[in-house]
Amino acid sequence: MLTAEPMLQTAPASLTAEATLAAYRPRHPALGISEPTRFRRSSPSRKVASPQSLSEPLQTSVHDHPLQRLDLCKIAREGRVSAATASFVHTLLSGAGRRPALLTPEGGLMAGRLFPQRPKISEASEWERLLATHVRSGGDCLIIEEDSEIRELLAGISPRSHLQPPTSPRAWIQAQALHWRGSRLQVFSHDGTTRTAHLPLVGGSNLLALDLALNRVIHAGCCPTRTLATLPSLDPPTGLLEPVHAGQPYGVFVDRASCAADLAELLTEARTLSGRRLVLVTGIHGNSTPEERRALGAAAAAADEVIFTSDNPRHVPVASILRDLQAGLGGGALEEPDRHAAIATAVRRAKSDDLVLIAGKGSRPFQELGSAVILWDDRLHARDALAGRGWVGDSL
């Protein structure tokens, strides 16, 4: 579990690490992993799956599905914490010598390849093929952030073993300093191993996710010393307060928050990072209702400066979306339909110790404009905007 000493002078006195992280704990119970069991190989004969129905491929080939050769680690989908936990478990297991694959509502990472598309039941045979490739390449476990579609995708298939929650904590994190530049943590394991780590992770949800991931991995039988040694190389989870660093004296973060509830949670979390002002760039997709747009606009009011922009408007006029967002906020936000220009404007207006939050896409690598779908990465556009101000890297 997470405990904390008083924060350093870089953070407001009223915001302690313990208070920041405690807000997440009641909604996210501890998760863990049980010891793997021995796999017994099934008959080498393979039945050909019938394409007649969505569920039939899973039922007809269940006796030799590649999942039967893998340990399964299930993480119930619960917003920001579960997404970060799945990412950290994958990284820590890899560092401990395991060969995991990752399957989430945002896509998959199998056999070293990224598949950034949402898993669908209609593509069950394709995901089965990818899992088989993962097994052939030496894969031994699968981590899933479970939602209804992924649950149905794997329904009726028994893995080699289920990785269950531990009965008691196996690791503890003590946050010594929280800041937008990163966090300093002291980590203890049940066998007495202790390590101090300086990580680029920020925000209470990411630190709680790290706590849960450490408990899962150590309980899985991975060496605590080797697991803790992986921490300095741990990257922030993709699209969850993910920093964009180029040596600038203010924070720039990309986040996947795309609805009112997620945006409100993001802004609340960002307030704990000792930033001077919050500069927000956000929009909403064209399939949203006017009520959803106004709700997101109202949530954006927690920022100090807001720039409304496009985010997959599809065939809906961007001006109409921006008008609804502005109505929810009550007016006063800048409007820039061009998302690249909006990001550049936010970076240009930021001053020392401000926080620029680019919300909505995170890891979603595309922009839908009318009938066109174009490649898009908020991180690349943020780096381009920083380079425009002369910030091109820490080494220069």
Task: Specify the pTM.
Answer: 0.81
Domains, the chain: 1-236 (3.40.1190), 242-388 (3.90.190.20)
- What's the average model confidence in pLDDT over 28-57? 41
Three-state secondary-structure class, residue 220: coil
**157 or 116, greater pLDDT:** 157
Calpha distance 145→75 (Å, rounded): 5
**30 or 271, greater pLDDT:** 271
- What's the average model confidence in pLDDT over 116-126? 90
Q: Which pLDDT value is given to residue 346?
A: 98
Q: Nearest CA to 308 among 352, 341, 275?
A: 341
Q: Which pLDDT value is given to residue 394?
A: 60
Q: Which pLDDT value is given to residue 63?
A: 56
**5 or 386, greater pLDDT:** 386
Other Cβ atoms within 10 Å of 238 Cβ, number: 19
What pLDDT, in 10s, does the model give residues 122-154?
999 999 999 999 999 999 999 999 999 999 999
- What's the average model confidence in pLDDT over 301-319? 96
Calpha distance 138→92 (Å, rounded): 17
* Tokens 């915001």 sit on residue: 15
Q: What is the mean pLDDT of the chain?
A: 85
* Gyration radius of the chain over CA positions: 22
Q: Which helix (H) or strand (E) holds 171?
A: strand 171-179
Lowest mean pLDDT segment, chosen from 13-17, 219-223, 297-301: 13-17
For the chain, percent of residues with pLDDT exceeding 70: 83
Phi, psi dihedrals of residue 172, rounded to the nearest 5°: -135, 140
What pLDDT, in 10s, does the model give residues 221-246?
998 888 888 888 888 998 999 999 99
- What's the average model confidence in pLDDT over 147-171? 90
- The DSSP 8-state label assigned to residue 239 in this structure reads T
